[in-house]
Chain A
Amino acid sequence: MFDVTVVGGGVIGCAVARELTRRDLAVALVEARNDVGAGTSKANTAILHTGFDATPGSTESRLVARGYELLRAYAPNAGISVEETGAVLVAWDDEQAESLPTLAAKAAANNYMHAEVIDAKEVRGLEPHLGDGVTGGMVVPGEHLVDPWTTPIAFATEAILNGCQLFTGFAVASCRVNADSTTLVAADGRVLRTRYVVNAAGLHGDTLHQLFGYTGFTIRPRRGELIVFDKLARPLLRHTILPVPTAHTKGVLVAPTVFGNIMLGPTADDISDRSATGSTKAGIDALLMKGRRILPALLDEEVTAVYAGLRAATEHSDYQLSAHADNRYVCLGGIRSTGLTSSMAVAEEAVTLLSSIGLTMTMRDVGQLRDVRMTPLGETDERPYQRGGAVICHCERVTAKEIEAAVLSTVPASDIDGLRRRTRVLAGRCQGFYCAANVCALAAKASGRSMSEWMGVP
């Protein structure tokens, strides 16, 4: 019997599990897929948001600002790469330029005091490769880049090292709330007993909410397609280039990544299928058109990856966080487009919500707790190949040792996508032309599973 079970191993659920294991609690983390961080948390734009453009006074505004501080402090020791680039928000017509002072005031209302409106010439001075037609801009010096892949895995690893039990392939299908415990039943029939439940099910947050008998929000997935350009494009940019946001979306940005690429996106399409993470011709075409205007030289470079992520948008603009004493249940829903940044603050909030409905807990001795130290994946950190060893993936410079380690780690990679998120292997420009076979062979050897399993051969 667990004290708390967190449903959903995205960045939110992993952060919550980590926070809970710092207390004297028996914690379980259940995830429907075979790995953590494999849903929306792996497919975003990976900006560490300051929250300058949030709705002042909202829960999101508060938790993004707090999460920003927490993650910045946590990242260096945990091996999560953060690259301090800052952002320039760029206006492309007069109307947008006129809205800049309002945006600066909004930033101040969000307690972000470093945003500064600049003129078109200054924008060009900062980013000489931008396209024609810039009418003004605003610098947001604290808007940085973070490694989205390592973040949830680091949280989960630390949670497990401190006693959390991870159940993968456990898709909660139904629940029975009894007097002093709740039974969660997985689609495959496995059951798990727990006193408290935290809903961190992302795109399925509303479904789980309903299982516990609540309504109040409905997820309407908003798809964001993204194009990642070759590392040879990286010198074209110094900052993240943000558009003037609209009510609907933060808009299409051009941003460097901690892996040394340039990313263009995301689009924002309201769809109904919660698993439609495919890219579309319309999306790609729209992005290329925008990209050509923002950073024309970008389009001369090769594309390394195209992908899409689904935001857990709802009919509300704010996060949907709530605590329900009757069912000993906490909901962390509707965390749409800032959850990577806010995750650690949402975890703190979850603790507060749990204690508000009667869960008592005390902090464990710091001396009893184990830290996590992942191998950083970002270009600003030192990477293993720089210390020598046989490189298997030439594009991303991944060593054989890293692949073996990822297969044998605390939260082990179980497929190629998991390996990619732990090492960057196969994430580069050749997409496996050179190394796919060698990578599968190495993973097979290290894991004792067959090569065709790693290849996904039917």
Chain B
Amino acid sequence: MIDVAIVGAGPAGLSAAIELRRRGVGRVVVFERELFAGGIPRHSAHLGYGARDMHRITTGPRYAALLTRRAEKAGVEIEVGRSVTDFAQLSARAVLLATGVRERPRSARLVPGDRPAGVLTTGSLQQFATLHHQRVGNRAVVVGAEHVSFSAVLTLAHTGCRVAAMVTALPHHQTYPLLRLATAGRHRVPIHTGVDIAEIVGRTRVEAVVLTDGRRIACDTVVFTGDWIPDHELARAGGLPMLLVAKAPIVDASWHTQQQGVFAIGNLIHPAETADVCALDGRAVAEHVIDWLTVGSWPAAVAAVEVAAPIQWAATSAIGVTFRVDEFVTGSVAASNGSELLHQTKRKKWIPNRAYHLPRLRDCRQLTFKR
């Protein structure tokens, strides 16, 4: 009998597995559908991994390799090439979902136009570039201007592809000024704000994109970045209810889902945090999984943190309640348990597509926003 079955060998799943073994749990098996463990960092070749969990900064592939090695050393069984499509395939005393997040592709964003080759996501771009050392094109447009969009600019530049422009429907880019400078700034990439892609042109290969303001940008490649959607298919197949905007399974402050014995962590539940936060989720969930294995009690009610606009959604992460806003806005966020105020934070500028955290609070049930 498996004690804990973990689905997804990304930073969250591997970190949980390591911690469970460290705390003496017998059989911990991680099921990974890819042929290699490590998750997204496996092909995210730039620096920026490991800060909060390993207290060092390294590249994605190194980080993935390190986590995988630690898991193997800790006696975790990793089964690659195993796609879990149904809870019934897992006979284990506890199940931990850590299936991660992907970017919405062009079709899910309903971008009209032709369907030529040359339309990518950052995820596929990274795999072409990092795992297969391929050039993807000569001149790209990057859709989005959040953190990952700027990482896409770097990856493109690295493969020798010029970036003609970045495009965001929001009024400003959403990353740190320094990250922008080091990427788009360094490669002299203009950022078109307040406009969206209206159409993709090109019968066999991308020839151009047309923007909603009528401008036409010649390019042979379009990279759709960010706009996260959790890989929640297994969670939904298992009947777990979802948060509305995030489309992530609802968990409580200790990552219990509404189904007894099933926990969920990582970017599956907060799309998308950095990898280190996902790894810390994994470490932190271990004690709750062990509670379940030993004491066997499950919370009676598991409810999402309620939010109101401009807050999009809120979910539990290891470093606190994580939430997002959907516009550039000034004001304060207040957390309450329904009757009393637990915490309040004020900011001159809340930025959409950024992860914000309130400290870990007991019984946080509601976030409200005052402009």
Instruction: Give me the interface of A with B, judged by CB distance under 8 Å.
Output: 231-232, 275, 277-281, 283-284, 302-307, 390-391, 394, 397, 415-416, 429-434, 436-438, 440-441, 451-452, 455-458
Contact = CB atoms under 8 A, between A and B. Distances in A.
17 contacts: A232-B233, A275-B203, A278-B114, A284-B110, A302-B108, A304-B108, A305-B107, A306-B107, A429-B233, A430-B105, A430-B123, A433-B121, A436-B128, A437-B132, A438-B131, A440-B134, A458-B220
A436 B35 contact: no
Interface stretch (B61-69, B88-96, B135-143): B135-143
A402 B14 CA distance: 31
Interface size class of B (residues with CB under 8 A): 35 or more
Query: Which of B110, B116, B135, B236: most chain A Cβ within 10 A?
Result: B110
Nearest to B82: A391
Contacts of B105: 429-433
Nearest to A307: B115
A390 B104 contact: no
Contacts of A390: 35, 81
B172 interface: no
A278 B102 contact: no
Contacts of A434: 34, 102, 123-124
Interface in B55-111: 81, 83, 102-108, 110
B117 A416 contact: yes
A453 B136 CA distance: 11
A283 B112 CA distance: 9
Contacts of A430: 102, 105, 123
Nearest to A395: B233
Contacts of A303: 107-108, 110
A306 B131 CA distance: 29
B33 interface: yes
Contacts of A275: 203
Contact of B112 (A279, A304, A440): A279
B293 interface: no
Nearest to A436: B124
Contacts of A451: 132, 134
B120 A278 contact: no
B339 interface: no
A397 B35 CA distance: 14
A456 B204 contact: yes
Contacts of B120: 432, 436
Query: Which of A279, A281, A397, A431: most chain B Cβ within 10 A?
Result: A431
B114 A277 contact: yes
B118 interface: yes
Given A278-B114, A436-B120, A456 B236 contact: no
A327 B359 CA distance: 83
A281 B132 contact: no
Contacts of A394: 33, 83
Query: Which of A429, A430, A436, A437: most chain B Cβ within 10 A?
Result: A437
Contacts of B115: 277-278, 307
B127 interface: yes
A280 B102 contact: no
Given A278-B114, A305-B107, A232 B236 contact: yes
A280 B111 CA distance: 8
Contacts of A280: 112
A437 B128 contact: yes
A227 B345 CA distance: 43
A305 B107 CA distance: 5
A456 B123 CA distance: 18
B216 interface: no
Contacts of B137: 457-458
Nearest to B117: A456
Contacts of B116: 456
B134 A431 contact: no
Contacts of A458: 137-138, 205, 220
Interface of B: 33-35, 81, 83, 102-108, 110, 112-118, 120-121, 123-124, 127-128, 131-132, 134-138, 198-200, 203-205, 220, 229, 233, 236
B123 A433 contact: yes
A7 B78 CA distance: 54
Contact of B104 (A278, A302, A391): A302
Contacts of B204: 456
Given A436-B127, A437-B131, A431 B203 contact: no
Nearest to A431: B105
A286 B267 CA distance: 34
Given A302-B104, A391-B83, A437-B134, A455 B128 contact: yes
A456 B104 CA distance: 22
Contacts of A305: 107
Contacts of B83: 391, 394, 397
A415 B229 CA distance: 28
A55 B108 CA distance: 38
A303 B110 CA distance: 8
A329 B120 CA distance: 46
Nearest to B236: A232
Q: Which 7 A-B pairs have the closest CB atoms?
A: A456-B117, A431-B105, A437-B127, A433-B123, A436-B124, A278-B114, A433-B102
Nearest to B103: A433
Query: Which of B117, B131, B138, B220: most chain A Cβ within 10 A?
Result: B117
A213 B185 CA distance: 62
A103 to B, nearest CB: 33
A416 B128 CA distance: 15
Contacts of B114: 277-278
A451 B135 CA distance: 10
Contacts of B131: 437-438
A231 B233 CA distance: 9
Contacts of B34: 434
A433 B121 CA distance: 6
A436 B106 CA distance: 14
Given A304-B107, A390-B35, A432-B124, A455 B113 contact: no
A302 B236 CA distance: 13
Nearest to B104: A302
Contacts of A232: 233, 236
Given A232-B233, A280-B112, A437-B127, A455 B136 contact: yes
Contacts of A304: 107-108
B367 to A, nearest CB: 23
A217 to B, nearest CB: 26
Given A278-B113, A302-B104, A456 B118 contact: yes
Contacts of A306: 107, 110, 112
A391 B198 CA distance: 35
A452 B134 contact: yes
Contacts of B104: 302
Query: Which of A279, A283, A284: most chain B Cβ within 10 A?
Result: A279
Nearest to B207: A458
Contact of A302 (B35, B118, B229): B229
B250 to A, nearest CB: 16
Nearest to A281: B112
Contacts of A283: 112
Given A303-B110, A458-B137, A458-B205, 9 more contacts: A231-B233, A304-B107, A306-B112, A394-B83, A431-B108, A432-B121, A436-B124, A437-B128, A455-B128
